[in-house]
């Protein structure tokens, strides 16, 4: 049995008097989180990893921030209960990822020019990344026709990933493969857009 996780929602920093604290916004609801929860959640942003990989990454990052790395499973369970992360499980990695992706709603991410400029100088002066390397990071990613199609669907609104997959099954660029391969191709396109920070995962609260 394989289990995979990813983050849900987007983060913002809010100020209360002289204190700045992180807030995760999911489906229009703001959620305050602890430092340990923030460390674990941030690892899962724009990526999908197994529980085993996640525990290793969490302990390394907790040590880096001088935070106790104990209580991993309790923190994981709290975030899942609050719908701040989502889990998929299956007999193998492929099935687990499919079961994860079909749970989420997808929203586009709009990044303004000022944000890009600030991020560029942050890489140069804080991360000490060479100028041309930083330029490469911010080069506009060229979308494939399949990615453009799915991104256009997403831009129509808060949309369930299952509906996106259903739409793509009927498209001409899927005609040469079997249904199971069509579904997996759609999932890989969604994951690619997610990992490149072009879409965000959310979940519909019950």
Confidence (pLDDT) at 92? 95
Looking at 1-15, 17-31, 86-100, 183-197, which range is the least confident one? Answer: 17-31
CB atoms closer than 10 angstroms to residue 71: 13
List, for residues 94-116, the tens digit of each pLDDT value.
999 999 999 999 988 876 555 55
Q: Is the pLDDT of residue 162 over 70?
A: yes
Q: What percent of the chain has a predicted confidence (pLDDT) above 70?
A: 81
Confidence (pLDDT) at 10? 86
Mean pLDDT of 153-162: 82
Band (pLDDT 50/70/90 cuts) for residue 77 is very high
Phi and psi dihedrals of 18, rounded to 5? -105, 10
In three-state secondary structure terms, 172 is: helix
List, for residues 17-69, the tens digit of each pLDDT value.
777 778 898 888 889 898 899 999 999 998 999 999 999 999 998 888 878 88
| Per-residue tokens: 187 | 């999932």
Flag whether the pTM goes above 0.75: yes
Confidence (pLDDT) at 89? 96
Nearest Cα residue to 187 out of 48, 79, 8, 84: 48
Confidence (pLDDT) at 113? 53
Q: Is the pLDDT of residue 155 over 90?
A: no
Phi and psi dihedrals of 119, rounded to 5? -65, -40
Per-chain mean pLDDT for the chain: 83
Confidence (pLDDT) at 68? 86
| Per-residue tokens: 66 | 């001088």
Confidence (pLDDT) at 205? 58
In three-state secondary structure terms, 23 is: strand
Band (pLDDT 50/70/90 cuts) for residue 84 is very high
Band (pLDDT 50/70/90 cuts) for residue 175 is low
């Amino acid at each position: 049995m394989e289990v995979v996780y990813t983050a849900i929602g987007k983060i913002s920093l809010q100020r209360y008097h002289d204190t700045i604290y992180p807030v995760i916004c999911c489906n229009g609801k703001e959620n305050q989180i602890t430092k340990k929860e923030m460390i674990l959640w941030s690892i899962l942003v724009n990526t999908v990893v197994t529980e085993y990989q996640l525990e290793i990454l969490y302990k390394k990052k907790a040590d880096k921030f001088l935070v106790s790395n104990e209580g991993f499973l309790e923190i994981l369970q709290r975030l899942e209960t609050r719908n701040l992360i989502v889990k998929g499980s299956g007999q193998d990695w492929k099935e687990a990822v499919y079961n994860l992706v079909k749970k989420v709603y997808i929203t586009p991410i709009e990044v303004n020019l000022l944000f890009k400029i600030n991020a560029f100088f942050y890489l140069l002066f804080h991360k000490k990344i060479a100028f041309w390397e930083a330029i490469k990071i911010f080069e506009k990613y060229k979308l494939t026709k399949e990615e453009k199609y799915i991104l256009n669907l997403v831009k129509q609104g808060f949309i369930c990933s299952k509906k996106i997959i259903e739409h793509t099954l009927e498209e001409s660029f899927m005609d040469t493969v079997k249904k199971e391969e069509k579904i997996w191709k759609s999932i890989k396109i969604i994951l690619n857009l997610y990992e490149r920070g072009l879409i965000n995962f959310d979940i519909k609260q019950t």
